[in-house]
Every structure is written in structure tokens, then in C-alpha cells.
A and B are shown apart, each in its own frame.
Chain A
């Protein structure tokens, strides 16, 4: 069983690595064909990884994102899917592959050492609310990470345009306005998902009779802080109609908060959500 899963994971990571190489090559030697192949390979890489998660899920009988490996794979696959959907709708966005695909590849490789960890869940919280809680949280993480990639691209593009540097990077990245619009959409989705996830989390605690340890849990606190940054961003864009560099900078700040709530918390403190087993097993 473990062997099948390990092999599938390795195949997935190999495909992602190849896709990363192509995505970086596309920057040095601009070519539509290379860009397209990078996307195709990344899509092919997501399939075996998804299969691994399904196998894990069947074995345990519930949606799994418990170990560091599982969490990273779910995050990586969701991010890939969100990105592919965006590229399908906006072909020019595929210039972002150079950032997105290598990032996902690195995340997947970082999760690899924990592949054999087999965290277990308290049976009383195994219900469909939990599944929704996990799925929405990860959708939120993926959407926001995508927004952050675009914010980074925005800042790079802004810098190049200001410096009058019209090299390969400037040519391949989407127009500033496109980035601005796409990142706002992703922030909106992320805000919605994270809100739903938090509400579901509160519900879960109520249903399972959890207590104060949940309210003071560092992960919960960090997530609420992240949610506040998202809310500020949504406000900036939707109500104050803010655009441009500053919006991009706040999104990057939001990514730091998100990464802290997602991973960092487990490194610096103990959490009730502590299944990430940062050292691997």
C-alpha cells in the first residue's frame, strides 16, 4: 500500500519537476509551445497526487489533510487546479507558470519526508462538517497563494516598467491591469472560503463540545488574524476601489500571515490542530 502511494507521489513530483524546468525555460526562451507543455505536465502531475489522497482517504475513511505530507499535497494540488482554471479562462496568465509551478514543486518536495506519517483523528469529530472545514480552508489557502503570486508579478512588472526594462520577463507577464483584476478575484474567493471554514470550525467545536483550548489555540488566533488581513483587502478593493502597488504589497503581507497560520504556528507553538508533525516521521 505504502509502496503504491510512494511511487505515485514520486511520479507526480517528477512530472512537476519537469514542468518547473519547462516553465523556467519558457522565461529564458519565450515560446508558447513550451508554456503549454509546462501546464500540461503540471496537470498530469496533479493526477497521481490526487489519486494518493483518494487512497489515503479510503484507507482512513475520511477526507485527509492531517500529516504534513497530506496537507502539502492537498495545498499543492488545489493551487495547481486553481491556476489551471485561471489559465483556461485567461490564456495570457500562463506567463505566471514560471512562479507558480516551481513554488508548488518545492512545497511538494518539502512534504515528501512525512509521506509515511499516519496521523489519526479523534473519532468524535469525524463528520461531514470536518470535511467541509478542511476543503474550504485549503481552497482558501490555494486561492490566496495564487493571488500572492500575482501580487509578486505585479510588483516585478511595476518595477520593470518604471525602470524601462523591457526584457523577457516584462513581455511574458500579463498586463498590470490583468494582474490587478485577477488577484482581486482570487482574494475574494479566498476570503469567502476562509470565512466559511472558520464558521464551520466554530460549529465543529460547538457540536463536539470542545472548550476554551480551541479559542486560545495559536492556529485559530493566527487564522483569525489572516482573516482580518483578507477582510481588509476585500474592503480595499470592493469598497474603497483601491488598485495598484499598495494592494499588491498588502496581499504579500497576507501571504506571510497565511503561511504562518498554515505552517509557522506548528513550528513555534503547540496547537490543537497539531497534526503537521513538522519533523516528519
Chain B
């Protein structure tokens, strides 16, 4: 079995290059079909995510070289600067290609190590190619092992545990305090990029009531529009404070905008309902004394970053273990490919037994007492030897077929080769 891969990712190519090769799910079937015409007999899977585009090919016979693959893939990209792309591509073969796929599926090669999205994307790419009939005996075992190993990695290591981005952590903090985000009012003070990202995550989680306060009303309106928020004049900030369950502040103001006295008034009005304030700005926009108020929870960007760092550190322990699992998986797969598939093994089996039988019959009939045997007798001896060999090998053949079906192929094939010395040179005397 031959396996090769070719691709670019966020480490080797900037987004300007990657977007030329970012094929949509609608484009992929056509590309796979065309690659099939260009490279007859080659199995292929195309994986496209926003961070990578990778083509995996496999075959029983020889594979085209990396250059040919690249040319075939780039045909769909229209006018591209081939020279600029040449350095961005990487290609890997056989065991290293398999290991690379395993690492990608297990999210060890991702921008945020441990994210789970890429596993779904690999699954989807594999399913799409399978539906098109582009996957056969060479790629099936590779992708199935990759998916299995990735699941094992997520289950056995902590690499996907804990959130790491500031925006997702803001959501996590919110969820510790409130259970029904749809009924909550979020107040955004300032229209900074971090606040916008956090707001987007919150809206995805069901937040519907968004109030945006910004010195520049135009900017507030721009931020409010996509999230169905309300842009409110900055001067009214204090009037609205008691309504806010969550306050996200991120402005470039050099001094606090929200003071403890303001929040105290709001809390009294809220009758003890909890209030969460997240201050993403440096210098701080929310008076630190707010943290001392009852039923008020104040977090600063450093608190979020501390949690993010802890989560990342926790993942770090898992990463080494995850790599171990990936390597083990790649080895197991290599073992399967090395032992060859069922058909080649059974063929070797047959050839060996035929040779042994013919040799034995020849030696037997050459004995002095039997040399005068009539033709019918000779045929009888040959037939008997044939029957005997067949009968003896019937059960091992069945067992091998069963092993191939129930996933124990690997060990059975190795034992069979060993027991029958199938890898010996056919010219060697028996």
C-alpha cells in the first residue's frame, strides 16, 4: 500500500495564499472527480478547513510524485503564482503521512491545540470522498484509524478540556452565574475588538438583549447592528446599569468609567440579583472596589488570562500523551500495511502449498518401487496429495478471513507468515 499527502496550512502559508486553495464543500466533489480522471486508480480524500487544505492519496501500486499531485490540485485554483505556492506546500509519504493525518484529526496540528472542530471536518472529508467512491482499500484503514485515534486522544487526554480564548472564557464566567442567557441583558461599554468577540460568543449562546454604549455613536451602531443590539447614548450609562446582568467594559479611557458607588446603587435596585462585570481594558474601566460589593462579581482581563493560562497548562500535560497515542496508532497501522492484505497472503499461501505438494508428489513417484506405476495410479497419488493439502489448509484460510473481518487481522497475518514461512524466497529449497 502506498500513501502520500500534500498540503498547506496556517504555519506554511498566510491567509492570502490559503484562501486561494480554500475549496468549499460544494467544490470538493468536482475536484475529487477530476483528480480521479487525472490520476487513474488513485484513491483520494481532500480535507479543507479554514486553516489547511490537504490532499491524501493512496494506491496499491505506485503513486504519482508530489510535483504531479500539486499540479493536479492547483488546476482548480485558476491563475496562481506557482512559485509563491511552491514553498508553502509540504508533502509526506507512507508512515509519516499517516502520522500527520492522525495528528491533524487529533487536533495536535491545530492553531488552538485540542479544539474538537477539526475531527468533524476530517470525518466529513472522508465521508464525502467515500460517497464519491474515491476511497478504497488503501485509504479506508488509514482514515478509520485516524478517527479512532482522535477519539481516543480526546477521551484519554485533557487536551480538549477547558477554554482558552478570552471571548469563550467570558461566556464560561457568565454561565457560572446565570443559567438562562436568553433572558439576560448584556451591557457593552466601548466597542473594542475583544469585547466584540466576547459579545459574538455570548450571542451564539443565546443572549438576546444587548445594550451598547460608546463615545462614538456611529461605532456603537455598527457593533449593535449584526447582534440586534441597541446603541444607547453614552451619557445614559448609569441609568441603565441596574438593568444589566453582565457588563463588559473595553474602552481606552485612562480612568474608571464605572465606580463602586454606581454599582452599589444598581445592586440595591436589583434586590440582590447577581451582577457580573468583566473589565477587558487596560487601564481599568471599572473601579476595583466594585469587587467588594455583595452579589457582584468583577473580573479583570488578567483573571481571564490566568484561567486561560491554567487551562493551556493543563492541556500541555495531555499533549505529550496525545502524541504518544498518535504514534502508537501510526505504528499499528503501519504493521497492518506491512503484513499486506488478505488477498496477497492467501495467494502466498496457495503458491507455497502448491509448490510443496508438487515437490512431494514428484519425490514420491520418483521412488524406485513406484516408478512403474500406471498413469491412473500416478493421477490418484497427485489427487490424494492435493486433497490432503486442501483439507489441512481449509481451516487456517477460514480463520484468516474471519480475523480480517473482526479486526484481529494484524496478529493473525503475522503468525500465519511466521508459521508457514511465507516470506521465504521461493527459489530456496523446501
Contact = CB atoms under 8 A, between A and B. Distances in A.
B272 interface: yes
B272 A246 contact: yes
Interface of B: 175-180, 270-274, 291, 294-295, 297, 299, 303, 306-307
B179 A161 contact: no
A178 B271 CA distance: 17
B178 A175 contact: yes
Q: Which of A161, A174, A244, A245 has the most CB of B within 10 A?
A: A244
Contacts of B178: 175-177
A176 B294 contact: no
Nearest to A92: B179
Nearest to B310: A166
Given A164-B306, A166-B176, A244-B294, 20 more contacts: A158-B295, A166-B307, A174-B179, A175-B176, A175-B179, A176-B176, A176-B274, A177-B179, A177-B180, A177-B274, A180-B274, A181-B179, A240-B271, A241-B271, A242-B271, A243-B271, A243-B272, A243-B273, A244-B272, A245-B294
What's the dominant secondary structure at chain A's contact region? helix
A244 B295 contact: yes
Interface string A234-260: 000000111111110000000000000
Contacts of B273: 243-244
Interface residues of A, number: 23
Pairs of residues from A and B, 7 with the lowest C-beta to C-beta distance, nearest first: A244-B272, A244-B295, A243-B272, A178-B179, A175-B179, A243-B273, A177-B178
B299 A164 contact: yes
A93 to B, nearest CB: 10
Q: Which of B176, B178, B306, B307 has the most CB of A within 10 A?
A: B176
B177 A161 contact: yes
A166 B162 CA distance: 11
Nearest to B302: A164
26 contacts: A157-B176, A158-B295, A161-B176, A162-B291, A162-B297, A164-B299, A166-B176, A175-B175, A175-B177, A175-B178, A175-B179, A176-B176, A176-B178, A177-B274, A178-B179, A240-B271, A242-B271, A242-B272, A243-B270, A243-B271, A243-B273, A243-B274, A244-B294, A245-B272, A245-B295, A246-B294
A170 interface: yes
B98 to A, nearest CB: 32
Nearest to A161: B297
Nearest to B161: A30
A164 B303 contact: yes
Interface in A152-191: 157-158, 161-162, 164, 166, 170, 174-178, 180-181
Nearest to B294: A245
Interface in A243-281: 243-247
Q: Which of B177, B178, B291, B297 has the most CB of A within 10 A?
A: B177
Contacts of B270: 243
A92 B179 CA distance: 10
Contacts of B274: 176-177, 180, 243-244
A5 B306 CA distance: 56
Nearest to B272: A244
Given A162-B291, A162-B297, A166-B307, A177 B177 contact: yes
Nearest to B303: A164
A162 B294 CA distance: 9
A240 B273 CA distance: 12
B66 to A, nearest CB: 46
Contacts of B175: 175
Nearest to B273: A243
A31 to B, nearest CB: 12
B27 to A, nearest CB: 40
Contacts of A161: 176-177, 297
